[in-house]
Structure formats: structure tokens, C-alpha cells
Amino acid sequence: MTPAAPLQGRVILTRTVALGASISAAYGGFLLFLQFGAADGLDSFDILRSALIFASTFWLAWGAVTALAGLTTRPPFVPRQSGPITARTAILVPVYNEDPVATFARIAAMEASLRATGFAHLFHFAILSDTRDDAVAARERMWFLRLITDTDGEGRIFYRRRDKNKGRKAGNIEDFIKRSGAAYDYGIILDADSLMEGETMVEMVRRMEAAPGLGLLQTLPVIIKARSRFGRTMQFAGAFYSPIFARGLAMMQGRTGPFWGHNAIVRLRAFAESCALPELSGKPPFGGHILSHDYVEAALLARAGWVVRVDDDLTGSYEEGPENIIDHAKRDRRWCQGNLQHSRLLLAPGLKPWSRFVFLQGILAYIAPVFWLAFLAASIAAPLFTPPIDYFPIESWPFPVLPVSQVSKALGLAIGVVGLLFLPKVLIVIDAGLRGRARGFGGTMRAIASTLTELLFSSITAPLFLMFQTRSVMQVLRGADGGWPAQTRGDGTLGFGDAWAASHWIVTTGVVVLGAAQWFAPALVLWLLPVALPMVLAPVLIAWSSHPSRTDLFLTPMESAPTQVMGLQAAVMERWQMVAAPLPEAVAEVPRPARA
């Protein structure tokens, strides 16, 4: 038996248990609601709502089971090459209308961190610009000169700008691989806001060297430098919960792991041979370039026999996140379109069954909110289509026959749904306290307070995300192309006017929901308040959460003890902000990536 066989057996067992538990929970929710609805006579609306409960509960249960898998398993031993490394690695930094000062400062910090390892000569940076704004492109060239001067990186740091951004980010990387990929063994793919320790990059190469069948190794990026209430809440959630979910995901996916598009290392030969992306027939949003290319590239590598793996024990991998709900929703709109595009690929030839299931998961992630909203709408409308209760079903019997109350089943279902949402996070904070991991988050008591506050915040804002995601799905289904907008970085503070302009339609929807419930189903009003009230208050919540956080909650290890590369980035930014950018006339022909 090969060393990988026991691990693959654990993966199959984890998948089987996860699928069985999720389907069982969904079926239980389906039966409970069906019995509740049938108390006054079963009708088509009861069946519809029960089916919607099944689909929605399956998705919630799947997330909960993933967390439980992460809590009950430990990362398997991974081989690594311990001697000197000799492989050449290109660090790819695709940029698209980004602030070059912030982006290049991160590169300068990573270059300095690599120099501290003694292996910097084996790592080259390739800044791959797809910037369409000529003014931003001019600043990129100017600040690239500053980067070269500051790091003495000539010959190891390159810049090129494409004339046409065909294929967007995936096409940008494909262009590099075609032109220069054969000059390198590996490629570390970053985003413009990515930051990574030099030791982490070296460790990734060591693990690739020790596993010749490994095509892609994904790290778990941790959000840093968040300032707003929303941003710091997401930063805490990412640092505190995500390692557990990532471990569960690793055990679930095994050799057919995830690729999130950045902060990962790929074997360039494998990528070149396996990952040429097709342009889908027809017009966007379902045709054209594949937006969520990372999932597809992972599936193509697995189809070709390469291992795709996520190692949740790899630390030192960072990114920055949106500072407000609106910027998050804009980014999520592109992900929604990309994931729904995957419906065109579900039956693509040769894919591993688990890759197809991952596509289905990604689609369900955006369809599930639509199911919940449809369930609410159907519940409000149900009284219009439900015949009145017949209290005298027995002819000539003078006494009324009262239906048996099914309220306990509705309460049981509600408790189950809340449990699927909250229990994994509660178990994670308990596990963190027992294992000492909570110390990095300010201690057990502060970690508990942060978790409870995050649960409250996520519960209040969940209806807003439900509305934004539902709108995104509806836009895609009606044929609207969201394109590939540039990311919004930096200060994300919003005033009430901006928040109102972006969410007035949510307020209107909340008012309509409450009004319709009061008119058609008054008994539902109290149940709907946790959903409808945040919708009515959407502009207030969005504006308030975008302002700087002044609480001592949500502390993360990276805040209390910044790492080496974070300190280097801060030092570079401070130094660069004190000097003027190079003059435009100083811009000469900049170094470009070598051709193979």
C-alpha cells in the first residue's frame, strides 16, 4: 500500500460522512417543515417551501460539517526537501489599475524577506500589468524604477504591460507562461494585495520539490491591515475560523484540492500542459472568458493526474480585504458570475467527480440565498392559496375538530437552522481555548467576546448579503455582464448618502416584506423581523460598519505581533511616502521577463 493510500481512504471516509450528514440534516428539515405545513392540509405551497428548506439546509449543513471535519482531524505529514534548493521560481504579480506605490512596496518587502533566507537569487518577481488607464500605467513605470533602485533588484524584478488584456487575469498569467514559463520550475501566483514571508515561499518550494506529482500547493491567505468595523470583523473571522474550515476542506478534497487564484505555488510545466482555458461560446455572462478561472484550473490539473493540495499549516501568507459591505458586494458580483458560469462546465469531459461537485458547490453558494428569499416569499403568499380550515369534517358531528398544533416542529426547525450557523463557531472558540490558540487573539475571554460579537454582527448583516447575492444571481440570469471591475483598496469609509444610494432598494424590499406579511400573514411578522429590520436599516448598517473600529475586540496574532514581512512593508511605505516619485522623463525601457 502506498503512503498516499491511507490518506485517500480518510478522504473518502470524510466525504462520505459529510455528504451523509448534510443530506440527513436537509431531509430532517424537509420532513419537519412538511409536517408543520400539512397540519392545516397539505398543498403545493407546503411542498415548495419544504423543497426550498431541503436545498438551503443542505448548504448550511455542509458548512457545519466542514468545520467539524477540521476540528476532528489534524493535517497529515507532508514531505519536504530539507537540503539546499536549486529550483528557479517566478513570483507573478498581476496588476490591474492598482496603486503602484502600495503594490510595489509589498514586492520590496517580500524581496527583502527573501534575501534574509539566502535564496533570493532563485526567485524572480514578474509584475504583469493589465492596466487600462494610461495615467496609472505611467505611475507604474515610474514607481518600478523606485522599486529597482531601492532593492537593487535589477535582473530579478521585471515589469511588462500587455497591449490587450485578453483573458483578463488568467490570460495575463497564460501570456507569461507562454513567453517565459520554461525558464522557471515553479510560479508563485499572487494578487496585487498579496504579501508573503520569504520563509513561506522557500518552504513551498521545498514541499513541491519533495512531491514530484504535486501540481499546485495552495496556502491559506489571512486578511491583514483592516481598519473599519466591517473589515476587522472579517479579519478576525478569517484568522480565527478559516484555519479550521480550511483543514476540513483539505480532508474533504484530498488530491483534488482548491485553488483560490492567488497565494499559491504551481509547477509551471504542469500548469502549461494542463490549464489552457477555453473561451466559452456565446456572450457573457455565461459565455466568453471564464471569470472564476481558479476553480477550473484546479480541475484541469486534477484531470491531468496532478495533485492539487491545500496545506493549512503553512503560515506567512497574507492579503487585504474590502473595508465596507459595498466593496465586498462589488467583488462578490464577479465571483457570482464566474461561479454560475461553471454550470457550462459540469459535464466537461474527463473531469474528476469531485471537481464537478466543487463546481456544484460554488453554484449552490450563490443560489442558496435565492432559495431562502423564495422561501420567505412563498411563506408570505401561502395564506392566499391555502383553503380555510374545515373544523367540521365529520358530517352530523356537532363538535369542531381542532388540528394538532405543529408549532413545536417549526421551533425545532428554527433551532436546527440556528444551530448549523452558530454551533461550528462556538466549537471553534472552545477548541481554541483548550489548545491555547486563543492566546494569539487576546486570550480566551477576549476570543469568546470577539466570537459572540462577530456572531451578532454576521447575523445582523446576513440579510444584506442575502439581498446583494440574490440581486447578483438575478442580474446574471437576465444576461447582465458584470465585467471585471478594478478592486477598491485603501480607506473604505462611506457616508450615509453613499450607503443609501447603494442600498435604497434593500430598504424598499424590507418595507414591502413587512407590509406584505402584515397584510397576508400577520403571524409571520415577528418571525420576519430579524430579516426585515436589518434590510430597513441597511444604509445605517453599511455606513456605520465602514467607519474605523475603536474596539479592542477582534484582535488577531498579526496585529499583536506583526511578522517580519509586515514590518518590512511598513518601513518601505514610510520611506516612499517621504520621497517624490521619479519624473516621467526618467522612465526608460524597464526590464521585462526573460523569454525561455
More confident residue, 44 or 476: 476
pLDDT-derived band at 73, boundaries 50, 70, 90: confident
Share of the chain above pLDDT 70, in %: 89
pLDDT-derived band at 285, boundaries 50, 70, 90: very high
pLDDT-derived band at 121, boundaries 50, 70, 90: very high
What pLDDT does 409 receive?
56
pLDDT at 296 over 60: yes
What average pLDDT does range 513-542 have in this prediction? 92
Q: Give per-residue pLDDT as tens, 538-567.
A: 999 999 999 999 888 999 999 989 999 999
Range from 77-91, 125-139, 287-301 carrying the lowest mean pLDDT: 77-91
pLDDT at 440 over 90: yes
pLDDT at 154 over 90: no
Range from 45-59, 87-101, 103-117, 554-568 carrying the lowest mean pLDDT: 45-59
Q: Helices 444-477 and 538-546 sit at what angle, rounded to 10 degrees?
A: 130
In terms of domains, do 295 and 430 share one?
A: yes
In terms of domains, do 453 and 415 share one?
A: yes
What average pLDDT does range 209-227 have in this prediction? 95
Q: How far apart are CA 124 and CA 156, in angstroms?
A: 5
Share of the chain above pLDDT 90, in %: 67
Instruction: Express the helix, strand and coil content of the chain in percent, nearest 5 each.
Output: 60, 10, 30
pLDDT-derived band at 411, boundaries 50, 70, 90: low
Q: How far apart are CA 232 and CA 453, in angstroms?
A: 12
* Single-letter residue type at 110: M
Q: How far apart are CA 382 and CA 562, in angstroms?
A: 55
What pLDDT does 84 receive?
87
In terms of domains, do 297 and 423 share one?
A: yes
In terms of domains, do 341 and 468 share one?
A: yes
pLDDT at 46 over 90: no
What average pLDDT does range 176-201 have in this prediction? 96
Q: How far apart are CA 443 and CA 446, in angstroms?
A: 6
Residue 230 lies in a domain: yes
Residue 316 lies in a domain: yes
> Cell triple for residue 140?
507604474
In terms of domains, do 306 and 435 share one?
A: yes
pLDDT at 294 over 90: yes
pLDDT-derived band at 274, boundaries 50, 70, 90: very high
What pLDDT does 155 receive?
82
In terms of domains, do 197 and 104 share one?
A: yes
What average pLDDT does range 11-36 have in this prediction? 89
Residue 418 lies in a domain: yes
What average pLDDT does range 124-152 have in this prediction? 93
In terms of domains, do 326 and 428 share one?
A: yes
Q: Which helix (H) or strand (E) holds 95?
A: strand 89-95
516-530: b (≥16 Cβ within 10 Å) or e = bbeeebeebeeebee
In terms of domains, do 340 and 468 share one?
A: yes
What pLDDT does 398 receive?
59
pLDDT-derived band at 488, boundaries 50, 70, 90: low
Question: Cβ–Cβ contacts within 10 Å for residue 190, how many?
Answer: 26
Residue 365 lies in a domain: yes
More confident residue, 558 or 405: 558
In terms of domains, do 313 and 253 share one?
A: yes
Range from 15-19, 416-420, 451-455 carrying the lowest mean pLDDT: 416-420
pLDDT-derived band at 402, boundaries 50, 70, 90: very low
pLDDT at 441 over 90: yes
* Total of domains in the chain: 2
Residue 462 lies in a domain: yes
What pLDDT does 404 receive?
47
In terms of domains, do 361 and 428 share one?
A: yes
Cβ pair 413, 32 in contact under 8 A: yes
What pLDDT does 405 receive?
45
Residue 512 lies in a domain: no
Cα angle 195-197-201, degrees, rounded to a multiple of 5: 105
**C-alpha distance across the termini of the chain, in Å:** 40
Q: How far apart are CA 504 and CA 507, in angstroms?
A: 5
In terms of domains, do 300 and 431 share one?
A: yes
Give the domain extent around 566: 85-210+562-587
Q: How far apart are CA 539 and CA 508, in angstroms?
A: 11
What average pLDDT does range 413-427 have in this prediction? 84
Task: Label residue 549 exposed, middle or buried (CB < 10 Å: 0-12, 13-18, 19+).
Answer: middle
What pLDDT does 596 receive?
47
CATH of the domain at 179: 3.90.550
Q: How far apart are CA 308 and CA 217, in angstroms?
A: 6
Residue 501 lies in a domain: no
Q: Give per-residue pLDDT as tens, 357-395.
A: 999 999 999 999 998 888 888 888 877 766 555 545 556
Contacts of 495 (CB under 8 A, 6+ apart): 543
pLDDT-derived band at 522, boundaries 50, 70, 90: confident
- The answer to whether the peptide bond before residue 534 is cis (omega within 30 degrees of 0) is no
pLDDT at 521 over 90: no
pLDDT at 594 over 70: no
Residue 356 lies in a domain: yes
In terms of domains, do 200 and 238 share one?
A: no
